[in-house]
């Protein structure tokens, strides 16, 4: 019996938003599956629409506002993530990519992620695999095998539910395995970090480095 | 505790009048700003170093020696001197010269600079920025303390029997601050040498700087220079003051909104909330500045950014009146009352002379006669053994 912290990041803009709806379906399935297997899931939703101005402020001035800080803290704690965006002009929403671009490179290392996108036409179906996966690969997350994509017609197709079930199970199994925790515990320092990165959590300083020796009057190698 | 003003040397369009000052106007203005800093009772004026428009301060020692010559008490300093792209030999020479002309009323702050193209202009690579800074400073430190230096490093031509002239005033090197906002190696170097550490404290929330200053204090104690409390810390800050809070906010907002670096980004209210910026009445600026020592510990130098973002000279001088007359005197009194007893005095030339010589007369190096080859050999000064 474990309690898993799930964070849903949605870049949907309308209310109700189909982008958010798709993410919520994953959450519901995940919660039900987890319950059946004796776990509990607590969910935090980051609605990017509400923090859009802080995301752009961070992009242009590196200043992290209070709501963005809160979102970063939730992601730092997350055991699993559902990231959902509308497709605009053959790519993920600029708000969605901007949000993930202002995060520290090491914030999400190894964390399991379900990727989801919505669009008005099935022609955008490959955006999740072609565009979003590379962003999450850069962030060194563990994306689940099943990509979720829903265009208008998918909402009436039971096949979507099947894919949602699959993605939810994949996410749950990755969370259960403890993969991300194990990776972060065992080899955190073999990834690149900066002082104060990982949302401010990375504050260890290696005193036994060439640069530190140079700082203390030594010679450059 | 020292109070003063630091400037980036930006030449920015005034968003209210639409006018951009000429380089000549801005250079005249900065001299007046520095003189005003002394006139209103503050202690320090510091200027940045840049090598591209829209900045004017490419030759800080020239500017600072002129300011020193036209003031009586003011300490002139830098914010920062580029330890990456300047030859440390030239820094040793230029700032020692400034130290003599200013009769010790100077110090300087090392910084790496964040303008990428500057590196290739001076034959360096930005990839080497950190090791360059560290190695260059190791050399600079020796050039001011050893009459004759043999040196070999990775980033500069080796030196054989080199003497940096003039020797520092009273043979006491200028005090050095190391400015950094995110680099533990720089804090480590400041701590290793027992130098000062300065956090510009302007653009980012305080948590960012608190971590680095804490590390610097720990390492300062580790290297045996004193307790953590005795480490020498300086902070930047930024203020816009009016008698009435709302007037300050209304008057500053157009400048804030178009300011370089953070303009067109967060709202002024959010920025004030998250960073040390104070826009308001003298009391509000006092209250906010008094929180700095609670976050960073007791410190020795507080510099304010007052002249950027296109603020016209008249406004800046008026701001300095308010800062010097209504804010700083209260801060001096309040901080003196709250400061822990073992907090060290801020660095001054007189203090450093006293620490080195006690009541004895300082060394005054007199060179031996030129042997005709301009190479002075192993002991160029009369008071060192042949």
Residues A141-185 pLDDT 10s: 999 999 999 999 999 999 999 999 999 999 999 999 999 999 999
Quote the pLDDT of residue A15: 84
Per-residue pLDDT tens over the stretch A54-106: 999 999 888 888 999 999 999 999 999 999 999 999 999 999 999 999 999 99
Domain spans, chain A:
3-178
Per-residue pLDDT tens over the stretch B90-145: 999 999 999 999 999 999 999 998 889 999 999 999 999 999 999 999 999 999 99
Topology at the third CATH level for domain A3-178 = Rossmann fold (3.40.50)
pLDDT value at B374 more than 70: no
Quote the pLDDT of residue B228: 97
Domain spans, chain B:
2-357
Quote the pLDDT of residue B350: 98
Percent share of chain B, pLDDT over 70:
97
Buried b / exposed e across B267-306, counting CB within 10 Å, b at 16+? ebebbbebbbbbbbbbebbbebbeebbeebbbbbbbbbbb
Measured between beta carbons, which residues in chain B are less than 8 angstroms from residue A219? 135, 153-154
Quote the pLDDT of residue A221: 74
Per DSSP (E only), the strands in chain A are: 3-10, 40-47, 80-88, 91-92, 112-119, 142-143, 148-151
Question: CA-to-CA distance for A122 and A110, rounded, in angstroms?
Answer: 30
Interfacial B residues in 261-290 facing A (CB < 8 Å): 261-267, 270-271, 273-275
Q: Which long-range contacts (CB under 8 A, 24 or more apart) does B89-94 make?
A: B89/B139, B89/B143, B89/B156, B89/B159, B89/B162, B89/B164, B91/B136, B91/B140, B92/B140, B92/B143, B92/B144, B92/B164, B93/B164, B93/B165, B93/B166, B94/B61
Quote the pLDDT of residue B209: 85
Measured CB to CB, residues of chain A less than 8 Å from chain B are 53-54, 56-57, 60-66, 194-196, 200, 203, 205, 207, 211-212, 214-221
Per-residue pLDDT tens over the stretch A23-52: 999 999 999 999 999 999 999 999 999 999
Question: CA-to-CA distance for B289 and B239, rounded, in angstroms?
Answer: 9
Residue A189 distance to chain B (closest CA, Å): 16
Quote the pLDDT of residue B384: 83
Question: CA-to-CA distance for B308 and B5, rounded, in angstroms?
Answer: 11
Kindly state the average pLDDT of the residues B38-48: 98
Quote the pLDDT of residue B250: 98
Cβ–Cβ of A63/B131 closer than 8 Å? no
Confidence of residue B375 (pLDDT cuts 50, 70, 90): low
Residue from B114, B129, B185 to probe the interface with A (highest A Cβ count within 10 Å) = B185
Quote the pLDDT of residue B377: 65
Residue A132 distance to chain B (closest CA, Å): 26
Confidence of residue B181 (pLDDT cuts 50, 70, 90): confident
Quote the pLDDT of residue A69: 94
Per-residue pLDDT tens over the stretch A103-116: 999 999 999 999 99
Element holding B278 (H helix, E strand): strand B277-280
- Is residue A56 within 8 A of residue A18, CB to CB? The reply is no
pLDDT value at B39 more than 70: yes
Buried b / exposed e across A85-104, counting CB within 10 Å, b at 16+? bbbeeebbbbbbbbbbebbb
pLDDT value at B371 more than 80: no
Per-residue pLDDT tens over the stretch B236-275: 999 999 999 999 999 999 999 999 888 888 889 988 988 8
Coil, helix or strand for A150?
A: strand
Measured between beta carbons, which residues in chain B are less than 8 angstroms from residue A194? 182
pLDDT value at B200 more than 90: no
- Residue reference for tokens 């958010």: A20
Alpha-carbon distance values, A184 to A73, A108, A194 (Å): 16, 10, 16
Give me the phi and psi of A7, to 5 degrees please: -120, 125
Kindly state the average pLDDT of the residues A7-35: 96
Lowest pLDDT segment from A14-18, B198-202, B297-301: B198-202
Q: B378 CB near a chain A CB, below 8 Å?
A: no
Q: What is the mean pLDDT of chain B?
A: 95
Give me the phi and psi of B161, to 5 degrees please: 60, 40
Topology at the third CATH level for domain B2-357 = TIM Barrel (3.20.20)
Quote the pLDDT of residue B386: 57
Residue with the bigger pLDDT between B56 and B379: it is B56
The closest CB to that of A215, out of B189, B204, B266, belongs to B189
């Amino acid at each position: 019996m474990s309690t898993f912290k799930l964070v849903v990041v949605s870049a949907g803009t309308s209310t109700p938003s189909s982008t958010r709806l798709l993410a919520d379906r994953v959450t519901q399935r995940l919660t039900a599956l987890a319950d059946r297997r004796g776990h509990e899931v607590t969910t935090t939703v980051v609605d990017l629409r509400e923090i859009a101005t802080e995301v752009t402020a961070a992009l242009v001035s590196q200043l992290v506002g209070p709501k963005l800080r809160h979102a970063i803290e939730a992601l730092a704690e997350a055991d699993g993530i559902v990231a959902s965006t509308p497709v605009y002009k053959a790519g993920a929403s600029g708000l969605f990519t901007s949000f993930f671009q202002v995060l520290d490179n090491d914030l999400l290392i190894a964390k399991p992620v379900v990727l989801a996108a919505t669009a008005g036409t099935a022609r955008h179906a490959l955006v999740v695999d072609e565009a979003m996966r590379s962003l999450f690969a850069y962030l060194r997350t563990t994306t689940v095998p099943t990509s979720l994509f829903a265009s208008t017609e998918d909402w009436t197709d039971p096949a979507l539910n099947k894919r949602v079930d699959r993605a939810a199970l994949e996410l749950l199994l990755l969370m259960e395995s403890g993969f991300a925790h194990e990776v972060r515990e065992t080899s955190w320092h073999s990834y690149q970090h900066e002082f104060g990165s990982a949302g401010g959590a990375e504050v260890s300083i290696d005193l036994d480095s060439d640069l530190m020796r140079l700082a203390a009057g030594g010679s450059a190698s | 505790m020292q109070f003063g003003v630091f400037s980036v040397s930006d030449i920015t369009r005034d968003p209210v009048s639409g006018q951009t000052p000429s380089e000549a106007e801005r250079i005249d203005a900065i001299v007046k700003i520095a003189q005003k800093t002394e006139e209103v009772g503050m202690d320090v004026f510091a200027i940045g170093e840049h090598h591209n428009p829209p900045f004017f301060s490419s030759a800080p020692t020239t500017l600072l020696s002129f300011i020193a010559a036209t003031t009586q008490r003011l300490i002139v300093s830098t914010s920062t001197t580029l330890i990456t792209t300047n030859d440390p030999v030239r820094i040793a020479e230029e700032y020692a010269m400034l130290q003599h002309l200013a009769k010790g009323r100077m110090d300087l702050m090392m910084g790496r600079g964040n303008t990428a193209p500057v590196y290739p202009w001076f034959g360096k690579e930005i990839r080497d920025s950190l090791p360059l800074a560290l190695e260059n400073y190791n050399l600079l430190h020796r050039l001011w303390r050893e009459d004759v230096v043999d040196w070999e490093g990775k980033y500069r031509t080796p030196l054989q029997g080199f003497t940096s002239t003039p020797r520092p005033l009273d043979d006491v090197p200028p005090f050095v601050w190391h400015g950094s906002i995110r680099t533990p190696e720089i804090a480590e170097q400041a701590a290793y040498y027992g130098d000062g550490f300065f956090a510009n404290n302007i653009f980012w929330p305080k948590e960012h700087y608190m971590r680095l200053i804490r590390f610097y204090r720990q390492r300062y104690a580790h290297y045996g220079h004193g307790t953590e409390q005795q480490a020498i810390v300086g902070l930047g800050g930024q203020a816009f003051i009016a008698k009435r809070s709302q007037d300050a906010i209304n008057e500053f907002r157009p400048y804030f909104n178009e300011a370089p670096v953070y303009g067109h980004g967060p709202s002024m209210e959010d920025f004030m909330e998250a960073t040390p910026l104070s826009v308001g009445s003298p009391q509000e600026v006092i209250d906010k500045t008094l929180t700095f020592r609670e976050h960073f510990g007791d410190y020795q130098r507080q510099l304010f950014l007052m002249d950027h973002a296109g603020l016209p000279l008249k406004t800046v001088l008026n701001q300095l009146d308010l800062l010097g007359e209504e804010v700083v005197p209260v801060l001096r009194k309040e901080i003196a009352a709250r400061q822990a007893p073992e907090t060290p005095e801020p660095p001054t030339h007189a203090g450093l002379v006293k620490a080195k010589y006690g009541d004895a007369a300082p060394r005054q190096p007199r060179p031996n006669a030129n042997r005709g080859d301009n190479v002075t050999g192993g002991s160029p000064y009369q008071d060192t053994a042949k």
